[in-house]
Amino acid sequence: MSGLRSLFDQVARTSGGGLGDAKAVFAASRFDEGERAVELLRRLFPALLTDRPTIVDLGSGNGGMLFPFAALGRCIAVDTYVDPDLRRFARLSRLAIHQLRAVAQALPLASESVDVVILAEVLEHLAQPSMAGAEIMRILKPGGVCLLSTPPRLVFARRPDPHFQIPFLVALPDFLQRVVARWLRPGEPYNVTHIYGTTWCHRSS
């Protein structure tokens, strides 16, 4: 896995999007998060990864969290766009990653067809999170698992926020966060809907 990690780090740092240092480090860190997610599932749900499971990464971005799963089962990257770094890494690594353009509120996947759904640092960007949750529950097989993470509001209340690095931003009400972010970061699109309080793992019954 270390060779794949090094290759992914190289792809992230030479991104055609011209990432700055901080964003390149974040992009590269997604692979590490994926490895931790694999280990978490192996520890908590060891049977889940033994029979070529179907893993879906919603809001996959550069695919970093999904790539560590590629040797374990069928992997599907879902986002509203096709990330060029994901394509480049998949081509260079020869990993089979299926890509879908879709929104989390309307997934073009069959009911009860997925073993694992990853929703990492995406929930806070969704305008209709309850609809996305209903779709996740629809596509998960009985006994399937959704791994969900989101920046915890209380942790970042006194720190620079995780998206724009503005101190104390998430301590403000949502509408003021938008005003302040657009004022201090006028060249960057603001696509955060709500910063929640925690992170959890859910298993369908």
* Domain ranges, ordered by start, for the chain: 2-149, 150-205
Amino acid in position 37: A
Tell me the fold of 2-149: Rossmann fold (3.40.50)
More confident residue, 69 or 155: 69
What pLDDT sits at residue 19?
A: 47
Task: Give the range among 13-27, 32-46, 95-109, 120-134 with minimum mean pLDDT.
Answer: 13-27
| Residues 59 and 192 sit within 8 Å (Cβ to Cβ) | no
Query: How far is residue 168 from each of residues 22, 45, 85, 188, measured CA to CA in Å?
Result: 19, 37, 32, 18
Query: How far is residue 82 from each of residues 34, 85, 86, measured CA to CA in Å?
Result: 19, 9, 8
Distance of CA 127 to the CA centre of its chain: 16
Q: Which 3 state secondary structure label does DSSP give 81?
A: coil
Q: How many CB atoms lie within 10 A of CB 150?
A: 22
Amino acid in position 113: S
What pLDDT sits at residue 6?
A: 77
Looking at the chain, the whole-number percentage of residues with pLDDT higher than 70 is 88
Strand order in the sheet with 74-79: 97-101, 74-79, 54-58, 114-120, 140-149, 200-203
**Mean pLDDT across 178-199:** 84
Confidence of residue 27 (pLDDT cuts 50, 70, 90): low
What pLDDT sits at residue 96?
A: 83
| Residues 97 and 90 sit within 8 Å (Cβ to Cβ) | yes
pLDDT tens for 100-126 read 999 999 999 999 999 999 999 898 889
Which pTM was predicted?
Answer: 0.84
Confidence of residue 93 (pLDDT cuts 50, 70, 90): confident
What is the rounded average pLDDT for all residues in the chain? 85
**Mean pLDDT across 119-136:** 91
Long-range contacts of 134-140 (CB under 8 A, 24+ apart): 135/104, 135/105, 135/106, 135/107, 136/58, 136/104, 137/204, 138/107, 138/111, 138/112, 139/56, 139/107, 139/109, 139/110, 139/111, 139/112, 139/113, 139/114, 140/112, 140/114, 140/115, 140/204
What pLDDT sits at residue 200?
A: 53
Q: In this model, does residue 89 exceed pLDDT 90? A: no
